[in-house]
Amino acid sequence: MSLHLSIPPLLSSATSIQRIAFICASLGFVGCVRPWSGTWGTLVAFPFAVAALYFLDPLHYLFLTSALLPIGLLSTHLILTQPKEDPHYVVIDEALGIYLTLAFLLPFPPSVITPLLAFVLFRLFDGLKPFPVGLIDKKVHGAWGVMMDDVAAALMAGAILVPLAILHVNVSS
């Protein structure tokens, strides 16, 4: 299986605003990389999120993380062609998901292990879509549906991550 770029035909007839929205929603066309566009989107956002986690104060990190939701909602809304779709090229939801998952690490000291655990847990919950992630994915449509299943996956990953981070801190001390 090889990687390839899959640019959707909607761009040929898109307005300038829709093209800008596409660049935002696809994280600069990263979402067009196939297969596993969600994983690629998370991989691209991950180092920026980890850097922000460790170099910004918690308030600014949370502000940055929360800003991804309206940006993602607006950019996704502008490029959706059908209300029930969650197109592969929209990966700003993965960026929000990994930033939100990493937010659970704000109270803990910097570590190499815990962000990697955050990445794995988020991708696991986002990919497998256990309840309630799968329910949100099926029942919530439009831009909200695209974004909120990743929020749910991040919250579930965070719920598992916190006890693991506590254990890691206790073992490391």
The total domain count for the chain is 1
- Strand 33-34 to strand 4-5: parallel, antiparallel, or no bridges (unpaired)? antiparallel
The average pLDDT across 86-104 equals: 96
Q: Give per-residue pLDDT as tens, 117-170.
A: 999 999 999 999 999 999 999 999 999 999 999 999 999 999 999 999 999 988
Does residue 83 or residue 72 have the better pLDDT?
72
Q: What is the pLDDT of the chain when averaged over all its residues?
A: 94
Q: Give per-residue pLDDT as tens, 3-37.
A: 878 888 778 889 999 999 999 999 999 999 999 99
Q: 156 lies in which domain range?
A: 4-172
Backbone φ and ψ for 28, nearest 5 degrees, come out as 70, 40
Q: Minimal CA–CA distance to 38: which of 125, 117, 100, 157?
A: 125
pLDDT at residue number 161? 98
Question: What pTM was estimated for this model as a whole?
Answer: 0.95
Q: Give per-residue pLDDT as tens, 75-85.
A: 999 999 887 78
Looking at this protein, which amino acid is placed at residue 161?
L
